[in-house]
Amino acid sequence: MSRRYSALALFRNSLTGNRDWDPVWRSPEPKPRYDVVIIGGGGHGLATAYHLARDFGVPRVAVLEKGWIGGGNTGRNTTIVRSDYYYPASTAFFDRSVTLYERLSRELNFNIMFSQRGMLTVAHSRAELDWQRRLVNAAQLAGVDLETVTAAEARRLCPILNDSSGMRHPIVGGMLQRRAGTVRHDAVVWGYARAADRLGVDIVQNCEVTGIDRDAVSGAVTSVRTSRGVIGCGKVGVAVAGHSSVLADMAGFRLPLRSFSLQAFVSEPLKPVLDIVVSSAVLGVYASQSDKGGLVVGGNADPYASYAQRGNMPAAEAVAAGLVELIPAFSRVRLLRQWAGIVDYAHDSSPILGLSPVPNLYLNCGWGGGGFKAIPAGGETFAHTIATGEPHPLIRAFSLDRFRSLALVDEAAAAGIEH
């Protein structure tokens, strides 16, 4: 039976009670040694393994995941995909990622449900309008489809927005990226896992890396110690998001990162009411409506370092207050679920990608609250970097070295909110 997913396969499997589907990926025992070990089975780790096998023919690749794949931030995020960044290095990278997302369902033969419903970011003051115009100009120069909209257009795009009467910070306009939207997060994980598995990548779950061994003379990585034994490796790619400092500590260096809890919320299901992603940096909130009808709501991270993966009430209250101010009609909606992921931020809120101080150990981290949109380009460029030992041109600006040369890519000021 064909292993491709198709309407015909759906039909055929329905005849046998859907009992004959192949497992989406194997669960092999770890081998004693791999050419490349990727630590972290989130979107970035799995996409990297896929590209290592597909683009560079690396024969023995493993992804080691301490829990279950997609159980980290990739399975906890609010799934907004956009490329409205400010600096040229960022727009080039993130727009590549949006472009790759646009064809990913076909490429992976897995429906990732990319819904390009557009994203509206409202502005609440003259100063913010000016700032948005500057951002829009920068994005347009970089070829990104970002545009400004008037207050009336914003209301037409999202009629349930607060009508501004009595609003402390009235909505005076906004900016819109039409190609932006949402993606089914688990599908990205499972789609890359399935494609990587079929190219021979070993996905090893319940395998926590607890130590990193280095050659006494060269300092290069030689093996990783794990909860399932020692695994030898030629090269190591670290893609563990909020736990990057913990892994760096195992390898003997420090990173310019801080880990925070970032929360998200889902409401009870509602009839279709919001067909766009809407966001406000001033109110510290953004929301979209899922296919199941729940509002998916996010805001800013809890304001102190945390590895607790749960989040605290003050940040939750701030998000709820912001949502009700942005869309008063939601004031009686009940939130069904709340959770948090541990996100790692650099000082400039840009990712850290490429070489590390340790030979043969490569970094993919610093995504903060915004690395889901980056998964396809992150995997593509990280695989290139690991395979060739040279940073991919799209990620050169995001090297760890930029802190030493003070060449920061300061998107911290640009976004104003995580997603």
Ligand X SMILES: Cc1cc2nc3c(=O)[nH]c(=O)nc-3n(C[C@H](O)[C@H](O)[C@H](O)COP(=O)(O)OP(=O)(O)OC[C@H]3O[C@@H](n4cnc5c(N)ncnc54)[C@H](O)[C@@H]3O)c2cc1C
Distance between CA atoms of residues 74 and 190, nearest Å: 11
Of 287, 306, 290, 289, whose CA–CA distance to 298 is shortest? Answer: 287
219 scored as a contact of another protein (CB under 8 A): no
- Name residues contacting another protein, limited to 330-349 (CB under 8 A): 344, 346-347
Q: How far apart are CA 241 and CA 340, in angstroms?
A: 13
The listed partner (ligand X, another protein, none) that binds 245, CB under 5 to 8 Å by sort, is another protein
Distance of CA 176 to the CA centre of its chain: 20
Using CA atoms of 17, 19, 22, 28 in order, give the dihedral in degrees to the nearest 10: 160
Distance CA 298, CA 338 (A): 10
**Number of other residues whose CB lies within 10 A of the CB of residue 389:** 12
Spatial contact of 238 and 362, defined as CB atoms under 8 Å apart: yes
209 in contact with ligand X (CB under 6 A): yes
Q: What are phi and psi of 334, to 5 degrees?
A: -95, 135
Q: Which stretch binds ligand X (CB under 6 A): 49-57, 114-122, 262-270, 388-396?
A: 262-270
| Nearest distance in Å: CB 267, another protein | 23
Residue 134 CA to residue 85 CA, distance in Å, equals 11
Among 89, 136, 236, 239, binds ligand X (CB under 6 A): 239
- Residue choice 98, 264, 352, 386 for contact with ligand X (CB under 6 A): 264
CA distances from residue 47 to 74, 128, 270, 376 in whole angstroms, order as listed: 12, 36, 34, 6
413 binds another protein (CB under 8 A): no
Task: Decide if residue 77 touches ligand X (CB under 6 A).
Answer: yes
Q: Establish if 67 lies at the interface with ligand X (CB under 6 A).
A: yes
Binding mask 259-278 for another protein (x = CB under 8 A): x-------------------
Choices 25-33, 174-182, 229-237, 246-254; region in contact with another protein by CB under 8 A: 246-254
Closest listed residue to residue 107, CA positions, set 184, 21, 26, 191: 191
Q: Measured between alpha carbons, how far is 82 from 135 in angstroms, rounded to an integer?
A: 14
Q: Which does 258 bind (CB under 5 to 8 A by kind): another protein, ligand X, none?
A: another protein
The two structure tokens encoding residue 99: 């472009």
Among 118, 366, 370, 391, binds ligand X (CB under 6 A): 370
Site for another protein contains 303 (CB under 8 A): yes
What are the φ and ψ backbone dihedral angles of 313, each rounded to 5 degrees? -65, -40
Q: Which of 92, 123, 221, 240 binds ligand X (CB under 6 A)?
A: 240
If binding is defined by CB under 8 A, does position 404 make contact with another protein?
Answer: yes
- Write the CB contacts of 248 (distance below 8 Å, at least 6 apart in sequence): 238, 254, 255, 356
Binding of another protein by 356 (CB under 8 A): no
> Considering only residues 362, 372, 382, 398, which one is a binding residue for ligand X as defined by CB under 6 A?
372
Pairing of strands 352-355, 361-365: antiparallel
Options 80, 122, 212, 251; binder of ligand X; rule CB under 6 A: 80
- Interaction between residue 254 and another protein (CB under 8 A): yes
Torsion from C-alpha of 119, 120, 126, 130, nearest 10 degrees: 30
What span, in angstroms and rounded, lies between the C-alpha atoms of 121 and 114?
Answer: 19
Q: What is the DSSP string of 328-344?
A: GGGGGPPEEEEEEEEEE
The pattern of x and - marking residues 324 through 353 that bind ligand X according to CB under 6 A reads -----------------x-x----------
Secondary structure element (H or E) that encloses residue 100, with its range: helix 88-102
**Closest to 288 (Cα-Cα) out of 98, 116, 170:** 116
- 307 contact choice in ligand X, another protein, none (CB below 5 to 8 Å, kind-dependent): another protein
Decide: is 373 part of the binding site for ligand X (CB under 6 A): yes
Where does this chain touch another protein (CB under 8 A) — which range of 8-16, 43-51, 75-83, 255-263? Answer: 255-263
Say whether residue 134 binds another protein (CB under 8 A): no
Given candidates 36, 38, 62, 241, which one binds ligand X under the rule CB under 6 A? 241
204 φ, ψ to 5°?
A: -115, 110
- C-beta of 64 vs 138, nearer to ligand X: 64
Select the binding partner of residue 282 from ligand X, another protein, none (C-beta < 5 to 8 A, by kind): none
The item of ligand X, another protein, none sharing an interface with residue 366, based on CB under 5 to 8 Å by kind, is none
Q: Give contact residues for another protein (rule: CB under 8 A).
A: 243, 245-246, 249, 254-259, 303-308, 312-314, 344, 346-347, 403-404
Q: Give contact residues for ligand X (rule: CB under 6 A).
A: 39-45, 64-67, 71-74, 76-80, 208-209, 239-241, 243, 262-264, 298, 341, 343, 367, 369-373, 419
